[in-house]
Amino acid sequence: MFDFISEYLYVYLWTILTAGINVVAPMSASTVVNPVTAFFTDPQRAIGIGAFTFFFTGLHRVYLFRKEILSDTANVALIKKWLPYSIIGALTGGFLITNLNEKLLAIVIILMSSYFIMKTILYLVSEKKEVRKESSLTRPLIFIVSGFLQGSGMQGGDIRNNYLRTFVSEVAVRAVGSAFGLVNFFIAGSVILLRNHLTTRDVIFIVTLIPFLMIAQIYGVKFLVKLKDRNAKIIAVTLSILGVILLTYKYLL
């Protein structure tokens, strides 16, 4: 028992903390959870743990947003029509990720994380907060690519959510986005588990973590109503930078 706690203690604390913060400042497994988890384990295991973690937190968020999803037929139609495209992308990404070299995968996570850190920083310092609209012809590509990235344990939610913001409300973005995300992360975690990149101890860790994730999200919602959007983004960027520094130190220095 002591060995189990000592092995996963920091991952426990980090994952619970980020689960609560993710409600306040939406962030992905690739930018926050995976870099730090990979520092204490390895990239494939980190992506598997992160995928299942975000799957269970996504289930909880879908439950919290169930009224917003079911009360609008447009949201239900959107999920039914475009979820298959997202699943195709997630399956492709999930199978690809298990064949990558650990150092190469670490570099991919670092580059993806750094890109979205810079993207958020530019958003914070920019005076214009407009979201670029996309043509409806790009829908299949958007959902396939976002599914592929999330299936690979990378950041695909931003691509999908920024597009959804051009024609649905922000509440619908969070609600529908959670539905897509939980399916993609379940696929990513399942592929990694079936290909033996997760240990039995990892699975036990994930199961014992679930109640704490639920509590963290409940308090995260309470904190969200008191926090300004700018401050929430600053928190996410700060944690993301820390994750990239740790992963760079482990694999590149």
Q: What is the DSSP string of the chain?
A: -HHHHHHHHHHHHHHHHHHHHHHHS---IIIIIHHHHHHHS-HHHHHHHHHHHHHHHHHHHHHHTHHHHHT-HHHHHHHHHHHHHHHHHHHHHHHHHTTS-HHHHHHHHHHHHHHHHHHHHHHHH-S--------GGGHHHHHHHHHHHHHTTS--HHHHHHHHTTTS-HHHHHHHHHHHHHHHHHHHHHHHHHTT-S-HHHHHHHHHHHHHHHHHHHHHHHHHTTS-HHHHHHHHHHHHHHHHHHHHHHHT-
Contact between 213 and 13 under an 8 Å Cβ cutoff? The reply is no
pLDDT at 199: 79
Residues 25, 8: Cα–Cα separation, whole Å? 24
Residues 56, 19: Cα–Cα separation, whole Å? 10
pLDDT at 170: 64
Render each residue's pLDDT in the chain as its tens digit; 253 residues.
Answer: 666 766 677 777 877 777 776 666 555 555 556 666 777 777 777 777 878 888 888 888 888 778 878 888 888 999 999 999 999 999 988 887 666 676 776 787 777 678 777 877 887 787 665 555 545 667 888 899 888 878 776 667 767 876 787 777 767 777 888 899 889 888 888 887 887 778 788 888 888 888 888 888 777 767 766 777 677 677 777 877 877 887 788 778 7
Parent domain of 245: 2-251
pLDDT at 82: 92
100 CB neighbour count, 10 Å cutoff: 16
pLDDT at 230: 75
Give residue-wise pLDDT tens across range 4-15.
766 677 777 877
Q: Please count the structural domains in the chain.
A: 1
Give residue-wise pLDDT tens across range 118-150.
877 887 787 665 555 545 667 888 899 888 878
Contact between 86 and 144 under an 8 Å Cβ cutoff? The reply is yes
Give the chain's end-to-end CA distance (angstroms, integer): 33
pLDDT at 85: 94
pLDDT at 1: 61
Contact between 213 and 15 under an 8 Å Cβ cutoff? The reply is yes
pLDDT at 208: 86
pLDDT at 21: 67
